[in-house]
């Protein structure tokens, strides 16, 4: 699995952090998503897919 984010689309809702805190974080100043692991381990795949699914801005792309 490979994860990419589009910080320009991110609205700072934080749903990704709630769904997959080992993969995503947010910048302190504006809440924009920060990708912690672009190739998360298999045990994080379900949570990572859920994070992409709940993102209101569709700023997360999961491949694989």
SS (H, E, C) the chain: CEEEECCCCCCCCCHHHHHCCCCEEECCCCCCEEECCCCCCHHHHHHHHHHHHHCCCCCEEEEC
Chain centroid to Cα 19, Å, comes to 8
Output the pLDDT for position 32. 97
| Residue 45 backbone zone (phi > 0: left; psi -120 to 50: alpha; other: beta) | alpha
Is the entire prediction scored with pTM above 0.85?
yes
pLDDT tens digits, one per residue of 31-60: 999 999 999 999 999 999 999 999 999 999
Domains detected in the chain = 2-63 (3.30.70.20)
């Amino acid at each position: 699995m490979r994860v990419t984010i589009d910080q320009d689309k991110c609205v700072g809702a934080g749903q990704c952090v709630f769904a997959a805190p080992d993969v995503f974080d947010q910048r302190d100043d504006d809440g924009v998503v920060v990708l912690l692991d672009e190739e998360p381990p298999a045990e994080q795949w379900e949570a990572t897919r859920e994070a992409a699914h709940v993102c209101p801005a569709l700023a997360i792309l999961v491949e694989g």
